[in-house]
Structure 1
Amino acid sequence: MTEAREPAARPARYTPGTPCWVSLMVHGMAATQEFYGSLFGWEFVPGPQQLGPYVRAQLGGQEVAGIGQLPPDRHLPVAWTPYLASEDVDLTAETVRLCGGTVGVGPLDAGDAGRLLIGLDPSGAVFGVWQAAALLGTSVAGVPGTPAWHELLTVETEGVAKFYETVFGFEEEPVVSADLDYVTLHAGGRPVAGLHGVGHDLPRDRGPHWMTYFEVADADAATRLLVDLGGHVLRPPHDSPHGRVATVADPEGARFSLIENPR
């Protein structure tokens, strides 16, 4: 096991474009809370309820992520969705449309928590946008159970990179490699997300999609626990330049990654 670390406080307000929240819409709220509570040690508090039943996951009383209930008549993919910070969701919605994206939900108010939209980029990947009010977003980082990174898996990065740069003001830093199509997006002078072009390796049943990496203390132990809780291993733990990583899915099929950062 790796050594425990003190939580890192998130900034008082997120730089526009920075992933500030991650949310999962599911069919079975109770079972999903039990799964992630056991896996990550999350506790749950209710609200906001503007989109139906919704809970916020917390670690030590600090906000981490959200889980909501899918309407029973909506057969939508169960997937983790990152929300990117915006100072004006309505203006962001206009820019999304002008740049070839689609606004699927919103903009709308989530009570006094903030204002949001859910959109699709030109490749069809779903993302959210959050204009913070009472809920600034994820308020703890750098400890097991918190989002560590967000990465878009897509066919190729060139076209979709221009979309995100224009809408959110990102600066990009391509990886110079003959066999790797990867772009790191920067906001406020620091890397905040990645775009990974995987070509024909993109899952046919999923299409372009965002992948959230959650930090764990021990990737192998966390993967074993996930299986015991009813989850599925899509790619077993393996070493990467950024730490030991496993790609997994929860019992409803939502894909995410576990990452044990090198110390």
Structure 2
Amino acid sequence: MVLMAADVIGAPCWLSLTARDRLQAERFYGAVLGWSFRQGSFGRAFSVAEVDGVPVAGIGALAGELAVPVAWTPYFAVDDADTAVSRVRERGGTVGVGPVSFPPGGRAALVADREGATFGVWDGGVLAEWSVGERSPAWLELHTVNAFDAAIFYGEVLEWGKGGETEGACDVSFEEDRVVLRHHGTPVARLNSGPVEEAAPNPQLRPRWLVHFKVPDLDAAVAVALENGGSTADGPEEGGGPYVTIRDPDGGLFTLDTG
């Protein structure tokens, strides 16, 4: 079932990995997370990861072509990509790519917030089966200088906090030094204040969106990641249960989580 972005406005609606070597990425994530893959609709450089036939993420071998880092990027649903991009610019963010049209009728842009954390916006059809939880990412986490300032930026760009005004909109709550994003009452992301540096040589210390994937056995999943060319990445502890942050063979960061 396909919904329109306006039905889930402001919520995470897709996840993509910008890689250099698509086949290597497929082998790695297939081994670690049990994903299967099919070719995407945007050409040979793209593939779609699936679990039990349900799409969970996209992989595009575009890092070299676009001269961008290998990274996982969350996309958020918006009702109009051009308006969202204008809001990003007006509030001190930057636009890397787009809006670009994709068949059959969607439009996307790759942008960054004021601190340099990259994310995407999507205007078009979204998969009703895709949601933050068991099959898709278990959790999305923004590491930034000031979570409250970031919440204002994202709230204005993505129209968070308009649950009473816009059908399907997200709401935020301020909990100690964190901001929690909920969609229809379900937590889908957390914004954390912490020690980050925009120009830090270690990507683990830069402002960024970090994706958590849930696994049934953390030790076993980490072992498989290491056996397949990944490595563990040291970084600040952010709580939330047992987890390990991994760097894939191409350098992309993600987190394996049991909760």
User: For this structure pair, what is the TM-score category when the shorter chain's length is used for normalisation?
Assistant: 0.7 to 0.9
Q: Is the CA contact 2:132–2:139 (under 8 Å) kept in the aligned structure 1? A: no
TM-score by structure 2 length?
Answer: 0.84
**1:20 maps onto 2:13 in alignment:** yes
**1:38 maps onto 2:38 in alignment:** no
Aligned residue type for 1:19: P
CA distance in 1, matches of 2:190, 2:51: 26
**1:256 maps onto 2:254 in alignment:** yes
Give the % identical residues.
36
TM-score by structure 1 length?
Answer: 0.83
**1:234 maps onto 2:225 in alignment:** no
Q: Which runs of 5+ in 2 are unaligned?
A: 162-171
- After TM superposition, the structure 1 = structure 2 runs for residues 132-143 of structure 1, keeping only pairs within 5 Å, are 132-133=124-125, 135-136=126-127, 139=130, 142-143=133-134
The equivalent residue for 2:174 is 174
The equivalent residue for 2:189 is 193
CA distance in 1, matches of 2:45, 2:36: 16
| 1:151-198 residue CA offsets vs partner (Å, 9 max, x unmatched) | 11112223222100111122332222xxxx321123444432111111
CA distance in 2, matches of 1:56, 1:257: 20
Structure 1 residue 251, shift from structure 2 partner = 0.6
| 1:218-240 residue CA offsets vs partner (Å, 9 max, x unmatched) | 1111111111111111249x995
Q: Which runs of 5+ in 1 are unaligned?
A: 1-9
Deviates more, 1:11-20 or 1:226-235: 11-20
Structure 1 residue 40, shift from structure 2 partner = 1.1
* 2:233 match: secondary structure: strand
**1:161 maps onto 2:160 in alignment:** no
Deviates more, 1:30-39 or 1:150-159: 150-159
1:57–1:160 distance in 2 versus 1, CA, 3 Å? same
* 1:27 match: secondary structure: coil
CA distance in 2, matches of 1:203, 1:40: 31
Aligned residue type for 2:229: G
**1:204 maps onto 2:200 in alignment:** yes
The equivalent residue for 1:93 is 85
* 2:116 match: secondary structure: coil
Q: Is the CA contact 1:21–1:137 (under 8 Å) kept in the aligned structure 2? A: no
Q: Is the CA contact 1:170–1:187 (under 8 Å) kept in the aligned structure 2? A: no
Q: 2:138 aligns with which of 145, 148, 151?
A: 148
The equivalent residue for 1:70 is 62
Q: Is the CA contact 1:48–1:110 (under 8 Å) kept in the aligned structure 2? A: no
**1:54 maps onto 2:54 in alignment:** no
Report the aligned-residue RMSD.
2.7
CA distance in 2, matches of 1:110, 1:125: 24
* 1:204 match: secondary structure: coil
